[in-house]
Amino acid sequence: MFGLQSLPKKCDFNRIAVLTSGGDAPGMNAAIRAIVRTGHSEDVDIFGIQRGYSGLVEGDVRPLSTRAVAHILQRGGTILKSDRCDAFRDPAVRWQAVEQLRDAGIEALVVIGGEGSLTGAMLMQQETGFPVIGLPGTIDNDIYGTEDSIGFDTAVDTALGSIDRIRDTANSHDRLFLVEVMGRNSGFIAAYAGIAGGAEFVMTPENQFDPDWLYDELVKSHRAGKSSSLVLVAEGAVPGRTQALAQSLIERGLEPRVCILGHTQRGGAPTGHDRMLASYLGAMAIRHLLAGDSNIMLGIARHQLVQVPLTDVAGKSKTLPPGVTDLAAVLRRSI
């Protein structure tokens, strides 16, 4: 899956830059490290742009040596910092950003981020012709065109560690817990962490359920001898979703406890999988740029590297496939 591909070299780039944009994701540092070291192995100088598109607009571009990326593989977050830059929505600002790059002698750019960040990269490429390659970096795993994204595996693993601890308390006190994980429009974290953590019910943006139905199912489980229960809830687009569900259950006579994992899912050391994925994608980003490829995102599909046009990624999102949460329903029927 992660075997490097040899590509014919068509571009003699001397300087390539990299930035991280949007929400940080564990593994971004591994991708930066791979970009820098692969670039230097090809006699290309690599530059890091601070604070995403905000730093790009301001011209905050700094050289990255191989020593500068030593000992960052295991660190969460991003050494380049990240930001959400509303000003970058303006075409004039995107032109200004490209002028900043050209003034610094930068000839191509790698953008690591989510759908919004990759959309910005696509618009910049279309409007100015500046070579760009995107890498999927988001814990939500909701980017269209790739089955995996940098940070997703770590976010699931982090959530799972908390769920296992909550399960211990739920069992000790015969309690019902509602555990909220991240996922505004995508239920991948909730589904994977919930099923792996033995949650009886998983509520995602793609698979919502009525409080009356949940109450009835919880009562059935209790009558069948189930003394504690765990419900995984993706945060959804509207804040307070889990508290509202808890209040509905309280009004029906239950006593749920709510635990919101929040931003703990973003931080921490990346898993081995995310380090490998990020390292591979980072290295291949340099090889594809030198091969003359641009305006694409590199992703994974069927355990193979895929090149997805940024025009296909922009404005789209990947949702949880139908039937994934059905596994939780099947597994709880053994009660």
DSSP secondary structure letter of residue 129: -
Helix/strand/coil percent split, the chain, to 5 = 45, 20, 40
Catalytic residues: 140
Q: Which residues contact 311 (CB under 8 A, 6 or more apart)?
A: 122, 295
CA distance 7 to 98: 27
CA distances from residue 67 to 36, 64, 191, 263 in whole angstroms, order as listed:
10, 8, 39, 30
Q: Which residues contact 87 (CB under 8 A, 6 or more apart)?
A: 53, 54, 57, 93
What is the secondary structure of 167-190 as a DSSP string?
HHHHHHHT-EEEEEE--SS--HHH
Residue 178, token pair as written in the block: 């509602």
